[in-house]
Every structure is written in structure tokens, then in C-alpha cells.
Amino acid sequence: MIKLKIVAVLGLSILMSCSTESVKDIRNPIMVQLEFVKGKGILFGHQDDLAYGKNWSYVDGESDVKRVAGDYPAMFGWELGGIELQHTNNLDSIHFQVIKDLVIKGYQMGGINTFSWHPFSVTNGENSWNTETDVVKHMLPNGSHHKEFLAQLDRLADFFQSLKADDGKLVPFIFRPWHEMDGAWFWWGTKNCTSDEFKELFRFSIEYLKNKKGLTQMLVAYSPDRNFTTLDEYLTWYPGDDVIDIIGMDNYYDLKVPGGVELAIKKLHIVIACAKEKQKLSALTETGLENVTDSLWYTQKLGKVVSDSLISKELSYVMVWRNDPKVHFFFPYENHPAAANAKSFLDTPEMLLLNDFNKQKNK
């Protein structure tokens, strides 16, 4: 009897040990890395950084951030609009095969990849910015175009599952769908759907991708625009703790108007308080100044925000938008009047570029 008890206890101990190891093993590596470096620096990210810049396109090893600051960003942002319709290129005219190759490259360099998605409507084929008709209610279960939406999610999932490193492992990533829902410029925003419809859309999207399509390598970010002043307002569209990993905010407007820095700081304090309460990570998920018309913007606007004592300790990353030579740019290119200032900003202890990030997470 005593022997049986001993065997049972040993067996339970081994089982518990194995279970603990299994839980550790399946934790998303991005979450592990961001938690480890939190408080040691804020990762700097740039949309489409490896694909093109102000005066170049598809040159291996190039990066406007690297040209100016001497190193690559720690995070690489990509857009998947068009994948749901099996387009060859995304909304910004990048071939999806190129995106795939550069995502894998960025990951193998040690960086983190994050994806936005501005899909075409399942009801009329219009782009995400067409708000003439309501779309969301038709995408939901029992909606008139739910099957078409499932097909879109299937194609999205197929792309994510094709992202494999040289060792065959799936590339982990952050997915940031349905962002800026508190504005009126997307068909999933305030003009075209209720908060309950939005929450159902968000929850269904993530549950389908994780539970039905098996995307365990995915972290999910919630990122309203800056249209809130209280926690309750911020959480108006929040779909639930079980489908969100990163609590974020997009904010362009506050960082280009008088007194806006203080507003941006207050709003990030709300984001951070929410993240801490929910045991999530926090981020400034999208920002920038179009064409960097203020040569001191990086140190005097964005720099003032991230150097705030609470923000510098708690924020995980900040992303600026892309440098499209035909449209606009959000990071100064070589010899631009703001280039030296941007370099000074990225040289501060608060900010981590790729080499900084790799050194910190390997300590």
C-alpha cells in the first residue's frame, strides 16, 4: 500500500513537471521576449521597412531606419489587405511572396513582425475606407455574407501558416485587425456598426483563426485611435481578455497639435493602466508625422511621450508608418532635415533597435 502511494505521488510529480514544461514550451516567444525586455527599453518599429524606402525599392539589406540610425528597427510592420481576395500584391503594391520572404528574414534577424489587415468588403468588394454601406452585420454568423467572410479568413490563415523559418518552425507574429474602430473612416468603425457588432466581429475572427485554423503562433493587439479620455471610453469596443494579448493605441493627431503631447501621455497612461490590470502588454501601435514636416518631431513630440517615467517603464513598443516614395513617408530618409533628430531620438536609452533588442533578450 505504501509502495503504491509512493508510486502514485512520483507519477503525479512527473506529470505535473511535464505539464509545467509543456505550458512553458507553448508560450509565444514574442510574449516571452517582450516581457523580458519591458522596462529596459521600448522597441522601435517601422511599416514596410525592409521592402522599400524614400529613394529605393526591393534592395536586399536596405532600410531607411538603418541608413539614418545605423541599425534596423526591432519590429517590422506589414499590411495584408488583398490576401483575402487572392490578389498577387497587397494594398501597397508589395507582392505577397516578397512580404513572406521579408517576414521570414526579419524573424531570423531577431526582429518581431506585426500585421495590419484592411480587407475588401465581402458585400460589395469596396475597400476598407468605403463607408457608404454597412458591412459588419452581414459578415457575422447568420449574416448574408458569412460564408464569404469565412473564405477570407481561410486565405488569411493559409498565408500565416506558410510563414516558416529555415528550421521549419512557424514564425510567431502580432496580428492587429480591425484597428481604429473608434473613428468613422473604416466600415468597421462608429459610422457603420455598433460596439456589440464590432466585438462579435473581432471575437469571431480571432476564435476562428486560433481554434479552427490553429494559429497558436499569433498574438493579438487591440488598438483604438485616440478618441477616448477615460478607461470606459477606451474599452467601448474591447472584445474580451481571452482574445487580446496587447493593449494598444494608434495616435497621429495628438502628436501634431499644440498641447497634444500631454494628451497623448494621458491616454497612454490609461492604456498602460488597463494593460496592467488585465496583465497584458501595452504599445503605441501606430503613429508618425506625415512627411516629417517638423524637423524636431522625433525628439520633441514622440520623444517627450516615450520618456515619460511611467511610459518608459511600461510600454513595449512604438510603430511608425511607412516610407512610400510615391505617397508619403513617416521616417526621415538620409539627408532629410529631420534625419539627425530622428537618430538622436533612437540613440536615447529608452529606444531599442534590432541589435539592442537582440542583446537585451539574450542576456
Q: What is the DSSP secondary-structure string of 102-119?
A: HHHHHHHTT-EEEEEE-P
Q: In terms of Cα–Cα distance, which of 63, 46, 79, 91 is closest to 286? A: 46
Q: What is the pTM of this model?
A: 0.93
Class of domain 74-301: alpha beta
Q: How many whole angstroms separate alpha carbon 249 and alpha carbon 271? A: 7
> Taking a C-beta distance cutoff of 8 angstroms, is the pair 218, 175 a contact?
yes
Once rounded to an integer, what is the mean pLDDT over residues 337-349?
Answer: 97
pLDDT digits (tens, 9 = 90+) for 265-322: 999 999 999 999 999 999 999 999 999 999 999 999 999 999 999 999 999 999 999 9
Long-range contacts of the stretch 96-99 (C-beta < 8 A, 24+): 96/159, 98/51, 98/58, 99/51
Once rounded to an integer, what is the mean pLDDT over residues 174-188?
Answer: 98
Q: How many whole angstroms separate alpha carbon 73 and alpha carbon 46? A: 6
Partners of 247 in beta bridges: 222, 282
Q: How many whole angstroms separate alpha carbon 242 and alpha carbon 223? A: 16
Is the per-residue pLDDT at 200 higher than 70? yes
The confidence score (pLDDT) of residue 19 equals 39
The confidence score (pLDDT) of residue 95 equals 98
Q: Cell numbers for 167, please give them.
A: 528550421
Q: Cell numbers for 293, please give them.
A: 514636416
pLDDT digits (tens, 9 = 90+) for 16-65: 344 333 334 478 999 999 999 999 999 999 999 999 999 899 999 999 99
Q: Cell numbers for 322, please give them.
A: 511607412
Q: Cell numbers for 49, please give them.
A: 521597412
Identify the helix (H) or strand (E) that includes residue 218: strand 218-222
The confidence score (pLDDT) of residue 325 equals 85
